[in-house]
Structure 1
Amino acid sequence: MTQVVDVVVIGGGQAGLAAGYHLRRAGLDFVILDAQPTPGGAWQHTWDTLHLFSPAAFSSLPGRLMPPQPGETYPDAAHVVSYLTDYEQRYELPVHRPVRVAGVHRDGELLRVGTDSGTWLARAVISATGTWSRPFVPAVPGRADFQGAQLHTVEYGSPRDVAGPGPGVPPGRSRRARVIVVGGGNSGAQIAADLAYETDLTWGTPREPRYLADDIDGRALFDHATARRRALDEGRTDTGGVASLGDIVAVPPVREARDAGLLKAQPMFDRITPTGVAWADGTTAEADAIIWCTGFRPALAHLAPLGLRGPRGRIPTAGTQAIGEPRLHLLGYGDWTGPASATLIGVGRPAREAVRALAGRLGAA
């Protein structure tokens, strides 16, 4: 079965929904193809204690404020899933799920989107697949020899996942699990804080953790990212954006663990042993589990047939538009596709700009 539409949006998370909102307002014929079986994007797969960096009012998609979560200044992931579910229904967005896209191909004047549920022909495509499905783990020497558990951020749910006594403990005896968390960003800090009370924690970071001021939240981060993009677009000095402020937002659980002296970072280890990790000076640490909070790469395999991949695995863009294929826009992958576009509050503006460009081009076709 082949269907023809103006625009195919690939991905039904926050970026795809923001695109859908503006496509609906522009009067374009479109579908959203989502690989997930239920609404909520990556938010339905996060660890149990994850909270947003910002109050609900500053964590909203275009057109609909996120309602506050009772008893919480910073909403949790489950609240975000409920909000995204309601958003999708409120605007009657045409989401098809679960649909997995195999590839996007040029087909004359159209783009052909092949899926496990049929084929769509579109005058334009918006790719909004994010990064969650492409976790990154660095190639540290000895990683394959480690005898304990190794998890990435995407696989961690709660301390229950790693808080057992670990391998090699004699029957009838127990001890706290020895866990190494790797990564000096927000996920590393939040997961380290989550584990600090129930495990023997080692937190390895590439450099000394840089906490943002306690009063800075996601709205301030969005403002800084926007100011940086404006400065670059106008040829002014790079402000450094969010990176100039620090790496870690001190959300309440992180702040509490930090202030209690439970978040003491260690320099990044040099190699992994079968039973733990080791530093160049001979220092070692035993471990039952290693949790890699080491980030993600953009999920762009479905665009490989277009031959657009550039340095660092990215597709060169002008704003959200792919330079090598003007019928393709990329949305929500990070600052390279719009200031703070990987955030709830930040994705609305580049989504609006992408749809405005598409409406102008398709309307003139």
Structure 2
Amino acid sequence: MPQHHTADTEVVVIGGGQAGLAAGYHLRRAGLDFVILDADTAPGGAWQHTWDSLHLFSPAAYSSLPGRLMPPQPGETYPDAAHVVAYLTDYEQRYDLPVHRPVRVAGVHRDGARLRVETDSGTWRARAVISATGTWSRPFIPAIPCRHGFQGTQLHTVEYERPSDFAGRQVIVVGGGNSAAQIAADLAYDSDLTWVTLREPRYLADDIDGRALFDHATARRKALDEGRTDNGGVASLGDIVAVPPVRTARDTGLLKPQPLFTRLTATGVEWPDGTTADADAIIWCTGFRPALSHLAPLGLRGPRGHIPTAGTQALADPRLHLLGYGDWTGPASATLIGVGRPARDAALAIAELLH
């Protein structure tokens, strides 16, 4: 689309990763006219930017978007990120989804009965918008005293690629979730690893993978919808899925968590009792925040930066839906298998609103 061009459509989907594609599938089924705007230069969403050894928590058949089963990856129970990218690329082509890329959205504005989506490639005016930008572009690093005084390398999960980059070096991995455990397991063999967690790591039972997590999240949402007791969600089961590389490193004694330090020093970290550890690099596996800056012109932010929603629909503007940011926009909606149902609900709600 040429610069400064303006086009009208029924729905604009912002984000061409797994959530955006699931939305596109259901919008097509609902008979709506739509475009998908993706900031990346190629298909695959955040999966194309992950570290080399990342694998899914679930077998391929349990990691699928609506309408198209993910084929198994030969030799792998749990597919790797490259396999997911290939699947998403095929999915986009198979359903001939109207993805425009690279298009970076600057802001969404009210424009009478429509929402105006301003981008670096022109303007779209839509009767409804689905925001599906995820969290990968907003890495979070906590405010640790003296963090900027450390003279070594600091990077976030999003910047980690492979263990060979740290061979023979002293590395501190910070975080108690799945990314931290997988990256720590990656580094445990060829680097001098210190793994730091806020609390003792909680591993899920070895036989639990993404299938059980999705079932648990879905059961929780059903219970809450029916006014029954909250089962605590996925977090009640544990924080870390014991995928094979993590299990092996743990069982061979290579993953020994240390408590969180109090501050950084020029050469490493210091704990409350004054003991220190030197480090060449610190990898912050400390999570993400929703990428919602493009929605700032609408003035919808509520507590903790979230936009209040009923399901996926913004309470203050029913023309806006948020998809794939976590349980607050649908149970397990940040997962491949979990995003299909809230994507369907969003498409149906938009169809009802427009017609």
How far apart, CA to CA, are the structure 2 residues paired with 1:161 and 1:92?
39
Render the CA deviation track for 1:241-292: whole Å, top value 9, x for unaligned: 1011000000000000000100000011111000000101111111000000
- In structure 2, the residue matched to 1:283 is 275
Out of 173, 180, 204, the residue aligned to residue 181 of structure 1 is: 173
Stretches of 4+ moved more than 3 A in 1?
A: none
Residue 161 of structure 1 and its aligned partner are, at CA, apart by 2.6
Out of 234, 241, 254, the residue aligned to residue 249 of structure 1 is: 241
The one-letter code sitting in structure 2 at the alignment partner of 1:3 is: A
- In structure 2, the residue matched to 1:4 is 8
- In structure 1, the residue matched to 2:304 is 312
CA RMSD across the alignment: 0.5
- For normalisation by structure 1, the TM-score amounts to 0.96
- In structure 1, the residue matched to 2:341 is 349
How far apart, CA to CA, are the structure 1 residues paired with 2:223 and 2:269?
43
- For normalisation by structure 2, the TM-score amounts to 0.98
- In structure 1, the residue matched to 2:143 is 139
Residue 148 of structure 1 and its aligned partner are, at CA, apart by 0.3
- In structure 2, the residue matched to 1:330 is 322
- Secondary structure of 1:120's match? strand
How far apart, CA to CA, are the structure 2 residues paired with 1:125 and 1:346?
20
Residue 311 of structure 1 and its aligned partner are, at CA, apart by 1.1
How far apart, CA to CA, are the structure 2 residues paired with 1:120 and 1:272?
47
How far apart, CA to CA, are the structure 1 residues paired with 2:241 and 2:256?
16
- In structure 1, the residue matched to 2:185 is 193
- In structure 2, the residue matched to 1:55 is 59
The one-letter code sitting in structure 2 at the alignment partner of 1:343 is: T
- Secondary structure of 1:204's match? strand
The one-letter code sitting in structure 2 at the alignment partner of 1:334 is: G
- In structure 1, the residue matched to 2:27 is 23
- In structure 2, the residue matched to 1:295 is 287
Residue 180 of structure 1 and its aligned partner are, at CA, apart by 0.1
Render the CA deviation track for 1:33-69: whole Å, top value 9, x for unaligned: 0000000000000000000000000000000000000
The one-letter code sitting in structure 1 at the alignment partner of 2:123 is: T
Q: Give the fraction of aligned pairs with identical amino acids, expressed as a percent.
A: 83
How far apart, CA to CA, are the structure 2 residues paired with 1:361 and 1:118?
26
Out of 210, 218, 225, the residue aligned to residue 233 of structure 1 is: 225
Tell whether 2:216 aligns with 1:212.
Answer: no
How far apart, CA to CA, are the structure 1 residues paired with 2:303 and 2:255?
35
How far apart, CA to CA, are the structure 1 residues paired with 2:211 and 2:174?
27
Tell whether 2:144 aligns with 1:152.
Answer: no
Residue 224 of structure 1 and its aligned partner are, at CA, apart by 0.5
How far apart, CA to CA, are the structure 2 residues paired with 1:84 and 1:280?
46
- In structure 1, the residue matched to 2:352 is 360
How far apart, CA to CA, are the structure 1 residues paired with 2:89 and 2:32?
22
- Secondary structure of 1:325's match? coil
- In structure 1, the residue matched to 2:108 is 104
Residue 235 of structure 1 and its aligned partner are, at CA, apart by 1.4
The one-letter code sitting in structure 1 at the alignment partner of 2:216 is: H
How far apart, CA to CA, are the structure 1 residues paired with 2:104 and 2:166?
32
How far apart, CA to CA, are the structure 2 residues paired with 1:39 and 1:214?
33
Residue 223 of structure 1 and its aligned partner are, at CA, apart by 0.6
Residue 162 of structure 1 and its aligned partner are, at CA, apart by 2.5
Render the CA deviation track for 1:4-51: whole Å, top value 9, x for unaligned: 000000000000000000001111000000000000000000000000
Out of 90, 109, 114, the residue aligned to residue 86 of structure 1 is: 90
Unaligned runs of 5+ in 2: none
How far apart, CA to CA, are the structure 2 residues paired with 1:255 and 1:27?
46
Paired residues in the alignment total 351
- Secondary structure of 2:297's match? helix
How far apart, CA to CA, are the structure 1 residues paired with 2:318 and 2:135?
22
- In structure 2, the residue matched to 1:170 is none
- In structure 1, the residue matched to 2:37 is 33
Residue 317 of structure 1 and its aligned partner are, at CA, apart by 0.3
